Amino acid sequence: MSRLATLLLLLVGALAWATPAAAHTRSESHSAWTIDGPVVHLNFSVADLEARRIMPDGGRPGDAALIAYLAPRLGVTAAGTACRLAAPPRLLAAAPGFRRAEFQYACPSADSLRLIDRAFFELVSTHVNFAQVQRPDGDFAEQIISADDQGLDVGNAGGNGLESAGILRFVEMGIMHIFTGVDHQSFLLGLVLISRRLRDLVFVVTGFTIGHSLTLALAVTGIIRPHAEFIDALVALTIALIGAENVSVASGRPVTVALWAGGCLMAMAALRMLGIGLLPPLLLIGSAIFSANYIMVSGHLRDAGRVRLVVTLVFGLIHGFGFAADLLESRLPPQKLAEILVGFNVGVEIGQLTIVLLLTGIVVLLARARLTLPRPIVADVCAAGLVAVGTYWFIGRSFA
């Protein structure tokens, strides 16, 4: 059996092993609360795929069915007293694939307001709602509502302790983002996998650090705010591409792998033009051109270390926006932006270096104990797994 055929078998096996639980995506909805004294306006948005959960047959709920489900689970209280609906709830126009409902509440007073959201938590315990709250003083806050606390106190909305936190708190947030992000960890595994020498590893880590530091700063300061769903999909694509590079080098057929990668992305762009999928066609076409050229170049260079510095810089730009999403879910005090950026970035570096050194250390110890398999076998299995998992996440995030 040829090397390429073996890799394809490994890829199929790894794809069959991948499960939704392994992905970084989650069940989610979005809410925008505008507080105008004792009156509270709510726009609640949810994807069609999430809305289907409320129907016994899994079908698309009608307007009346969706309102009937949401109305008793959304609300506002003032000093413990439930606020009444000031107008009948109604559905508004929404982006393709989404549903959006409007609610308006009239409270007896504006004291001790609490925003309530109990929707979908009984169906998916890990569901989260990304809430945006425009408060009476004009302040804007972003917060997460989860099953553990299905509501927000307006006095504390966005008040998560960051105003008084020190730099060590932000370092901790950066470390935990790496340790809890399975997709970022998978990408780091790919960086170790393509680095056959210490010098190669230094090049790729340096490029990745420069890239994510730049876009992390741009996103947190508000200069650039890309769509989070696009970034999640592109993060998954970087994982698949790191694995695909290993496949092309190991099989000696970069042209074949490049054609497959570029062709699949072009096919997704064509589907999007027909209305199937979420990612913009131009983004998919650009990804196809970049992916095919990246695999072709890396597959034909004997020493691709310096090229990988540039490539991982590009990958770092994408992951930097993913890192920023973790911060943007919390209210960021403007007076602490510099401290937040430095601390969080240092934490990310500590986290990724810990994982890289841990993986390298395990390999060295196993090699000394003579418990390792030949490197080509290990590289082939890991590469197939990365391609499978990255592709699985990318497709899931591109169509859902």
**Top-confidence residue, 206 or 255:** 255
**Top-confidence residue, 299 or 304:** 299
CB-based contacts of 119, cutoff 8 Å, min separation 6 = 29, 44, 46, 69, 70, 73, 74, 129
The tens digit of pLDDT for each residue in 168-214 reads: 888 888 888 788 778 888 888 888 777 777 777 777 888 888 888 89
How does residue 306 score in pLDDT terms, banded at 50, 70 and 90?
low
109 three-state secondary structure: coil
Which pLDDT score is estimated for 8?
44
Tell me the one-letter amino acid at 283: L
DSSP string, 281-322: HHHHHHHHHHHHHHHHHHHH-S--HHHHHHHHHHHHHHHHHH
141 three-state secondary structure: strand
**Top-confidence residue, 2 or 39:** 39
CB atoms within 10 A of CB 381: 15
CB atoms within 10 A of CB 49: 14
**Cβ-based burial of 53 (10 A; exposed 0-12, middle 13-18, buried ≥19):** middle
**Top-confidence residue, 147 or 270:** 270
- Distance between CA atoms of 63 and 351, rounded to whole angstroms? 46
What's the average model confidence in pLDDT over 6-33? 56
DSSP string, 163-185: TT--HHHHHHHHHHHHHH-HHHH
What's the average model confidence in pLDDT over 115-134? 88
Q: Is the pLDDT of residue 11 over 50?
A: no
Question: Taking all residues of the chain, what is their mean pLDDT, rounded to a whole number?
Answer: 81
Which pLDDT score is estimated for 330?
61
- Distance between CA atoms of 105 and 76, rounded to whole angstroms? 7
CB atoms within 10 A of CB 26: 10
Q: Is the pLDDT of residue 156 over 60?
A: no
The closest alpha carbon to 14, from 394, 381, 397, belongs to 381
How does residue 333 score in pLDDT terms, banded at 50, 70 and 90?
low
How does residue 139 score in pLDDT terms, banded at 50, 70 and 90?
low
Which pLDDT score is estimated for 332?
66
Residue pair 15/391 in contact (Cβ under 8 Å)? The answer is yes
Phi first, then psi: what are they for 39, rounded to 5°?
A: -105, 135
What's the average model confidence in pLDDT over 117-131? 89
Query: Inter-axis angle of helices 375-399 and 182-194, to 10 degrees?
Result: 140
Q: Is the pLDDT of residue 242 over 60?
A: yes
Element holding 21 (H helix, E strand)? none
DSSP bridge pairs for 231? none
Q: Is the pLDDT of residue 267 over 90?
A: yes
Both tokens assigned to 289: 């051109």
Q: Is the pLDDT of residue 12 over 60?
A: no
Per-residue DSSP letter, 60: P
The tens digit of pLDDT for each residue in 108-123 reads: 888 888 999 999 999 9
How does residue 287 score in pLDDT terms, banded at 50, 70 and 90?
very high
**Cβ-based burial of 399 (10 A; exposed 0-12, middle 13-18, buried ≥19):** middle
What's the average model confidence in pLDDT over 42-48? 92
